[in-house]
Amino acid sequence: MQTSLTVDDVCELVKRQAPMVLLDVRQPEEWDEVRIEGATLVPLAALLDELPKLGLPKDRQVICICRSGRRSSMAAEFLRSQGYPALNMEGGLRQWFIHQNTEGTLSAPEFKRVMTFLGPY
């Protein structure tokens, strides 16, 4: 069973506007600094404690994201155990923004700001 997607895979889904939920499981202060457009913030602790109240659809792919992929991997595993079609985005936001920089969709100053915030692995 597939448990994760690469950043390239997720970028392709976003380009195609595939029906999915991008679920960011970081903390609000992390979200305030940098995020993927169209993502929804649900911190990992809230996801674990309040899943029934969140109204996540079970008929769309849920792609979990965080800074590096660790928290999102836990979130995706938990969601799958609850019957959701959930996958982890490998490498997290660090890889996402490296990809965006490589594709030329991110300015050099913005890339520097983002990577300064996201920090080393």
Catalytic residues: 66
Q: Which two tokens stand for residue 41?
A: 């913030």
Amino acid making up residue 55? G
Cβ(78)–Cβ(103) below 8 Å: no
Buried b (16+ CB within 10 A) or exposed e, 15-32: eeeeebbbbbbbeeebee
Picking from 65, 14, 73, 9, the residue whose alpha carbon sits closest to that of residue 35 is 65
Q: What proportions of the chain, in percent to the nearest 5, are helix, strand and coil?
A: 50, 15, 35
